[in-house]
Structures are given as C-alpha cells and as structure tokens.
Amino acid sequence: MARLAEEWFAICAGCEITILDIGEPLIDLLKQVTIVHMPVLMDHKLYGQTGENAEMEIPEAEIGIITGGIRTEEHRKLAHEMRKKCKTLIAMGTCACSGGIPALANLYTTADLQEKVFRGSVSTDSGGTPDVEVPVLTEKVLAISEEVPVDIQLPGCPTTPETVAAALTALLNGEPFSLPTKSVCDECPCTREKKAVSTLKRRLEAPEFTPGRPLSEMRCLMEQGFLCLGPATRAGCGGSQGTPRCIRAYTTCEGCFGPLSEKANPMVDMMGALSSIGLDPKQIPDRAATFNRFAGAGGRLRPLPVRK
C-alpha cells in the first residue's frame, strides 16, 4: 500500500476536485493508496493534533502531491518538508507548475500589492497590513520547481482527471510517465491557411462556424482574429479525445496548460505566432499578463523597472 500525502498552497481547490473527478478509476486507485495527509479531506494537523509540536511535520509518504504555487513563507517551508518526506513529488495544476493565475501578482512588488489591497482600493477601509498570526508573503509567487526539485509536473487549470489517473497509475506500477511536448495548435483540428482574415477582435464577439459540423471545418480562431494562446501552450488538455477542451467549446485557448517547456517563453512564441499570420501585437492590451496568463512564475513576469 503506497502512502500519499497532499498539500495545498496558493490555490482555489479546483485541482482537488479534479482528483474526485477521476470517477470510477478512482475507486481502483484508492485501493492502492493510503492517504496520510490531505488538508482538504482529513483532519491531520501540521503541528501535531493538539498543536504540541514546534515544527511543522508531514508524515513520510511514497507519493507527495502539491497543488498551488508558493505565496507565503509557510508554503516555502512546507514545500521543503514535503520534498524531504515524499519519495516522489508531483506538482499538480498550473499554479504548482508555472505559477498560474496567482502569479499575475508578480507584475507588482509585494509592497505595492499590500498597499493596494489593504489601503489603496476604494471599497476597502484603510488599515495596516496584517502581520499577527499570518505567514509572511514571499517577494513573488514561485512555482514549486523553483524552490525544490519536482519529479512529475501535471499542468492544467484544472488538469484533466485522465492525466492525474494516468500519472498515479504509472507511479504505482513503477512505469515512466511523461507529458506531451507538442503545442495546443498541434492537436487542434481547425483549418489553418496562415493568413488572418480579420484584424484583432474582442473576445466577446462570436466566431464563425456552422453548428453541428465538425471542428475541422472551422477556420483557425486566431486567423479569425481572436487571440488564442494555443501556439505557446502545452498540449494535453483534450485527454484521450485529443481535441483541446476550449476549442471543443468553440472558444480560444486560454493557455491554462502553461508554457511548452519550463524554459519556454510564451511572450516570444506568441509575438512570433501573431506576426506570422499578420496580426498586430500592439493592439493587445496588457500583453505581458495576457501572454503569461498562467505562466507568471519562473521569472516570466516581473515588476516594470522604475525609470530614474
């Protein structure tokens, strides 16, 4: 029986729901694992059940799962503790892999953020930054792999239940597991003619397609003028169906599977993709955040330098 420890950091808990979403295969998986630590499911305290310990402790486990990026010093400590106690560490979800939505905060300094949240916004009563019994924020949102080595990355917002099940099954059977290295465009069935038919459109406008007809008859959404992050996003969201999830819903890729590789830079890839079909990147508002929507960690987003 393999032991499983799970910890959540800066996250919305969508990834935990994905585990539940595995459906019937989950019953078989659960027969092979004992969950020893999982804040969302069970009452296992970090400082001992009555708070008797001075240091945070996570029980030893064969499989460790971390969801969410590192936003506080507590997360940082826990990431090291998880790494120490778990034989295999899985970073699950885009937040854990490349920062995700919380990492958009990396466009600002932590001081600026706190100023805005606790004093600057009009709907807030001004007050001090809480500093009693809350962990200190890190200077930026970090992906797990920026702090500790990670064995398996499962990107996606949320990741697909199939991917989670496949990764866990592979681990339990001692088989290798790897992610696709293709881009969403490689799995997209839409027709491409390498030339945009329109200037950039707002995303609320409706794309042209015939309902009921196969997706392969729809013109590439980017060529129709809708900003699609497909060229710079890792494939795999379609699961066994192949076709990317958002494309199936006739809407553009949001980039939730993160960059093509840890070193890839979606900004450069997107600029290339846009200009190669003749769309003007200047028209895109807030380019840095748009292109790095799910990939702000890893130094991809940072505050703009202050001019002297």
Rounded to an integer, what distance in angstroms lies between the CA atom of residue 69 and that of residue 280? 33
The answer to the question of residue 111 lying near another protein (CB under 8 A) is no
Q: Could you tell me the strand order of the sheet in which 86-92 lies?
A: 33-37, 2-8, 61-67, 86-92, 152-154
Nearer to another protein, 212 or 305 (CB): 305
The answer to the question of residue 237 lying near another protein (CB under 8 A) is no
For tokens 């496949």, name the residue: 166
Give how far the C-alpha of residue 275 lies from the chain's centroid of Cα atoms, to the nearest Å: 27
Binding residue for another protein (CB under 8 A) from 8, 9, 257, 291?
Answer: 291
Nearer to another protein, 18 or 265 (CB): 265
Stretch that binds another protein, among 49-57, 82-90, 114-122, 300-308 (CB under 8 A): 300-308
Helix pair angle (24-32, 161-172), 10° resolution: 30
Stretch that binds another protein, among 56-64, 97-105, 176-184, 268-276 (CB under 8 A): 268-276
Please report how close the Cβ of residue 98 comes to another protein at its closest, in angstroms.
15
Please report how close the Cβ of residue 177 comes to another protein at its closest, in angstroms.
29
Please report how close the Cβ of residue 64 comes to another protein at its closest, in angstroms.
26
For tokens 């854990």, name the residue: 96
Token digits for 185?
A: 């465009």
Please report how close the Cβ of residue 308 comes to another protein at its closest, in angstroms.
9
Count of residues binding another protein (CB under 8 A)? 17
Please report how close the Cβ of residue 224 comes to another protein at its closest, in angstroms.
22
Rg (CA), the chain: 21
Nearer to another protein, 228 or 267 (CB): 267
Q: Are 102 and 295 in contact (CB under 8 A)?
A: no
Rounded to an integer, what distance in angstroms lies between the CA atom of residue 97 and that of residue 90? 9
Rounded to an integer, what distance in angstroms lies between the CA atom of residue 18 and that of residue 251? 22
Token digits for 250?
A: 């006739």
Please report how close the Cβ of residue 272 comes to another protein at its closest, in angstroms.
7
Binding residue for another protein (CB under 8 A) from 282, 285, 296, 297?
Answer: 282
The answer to the question of residue 302 lying near another protein (CB under 8 A) is yes
Sign for the pseudo-dihedral over CA of 257, 261, 267, 273:
negative
Binding residue for another protein (CB under 8 A) from 11, 152, 256, 267?
Answer: 267
Rounded to an integer, what distance in angstroms lies between the CA atom of residue 138 and that of residue 90? 22
Site residues for another protein per CB under 8 A: 265, 267-268, 271-272, 275, 281-282, 287-288, 291, 299, 302-305, 307
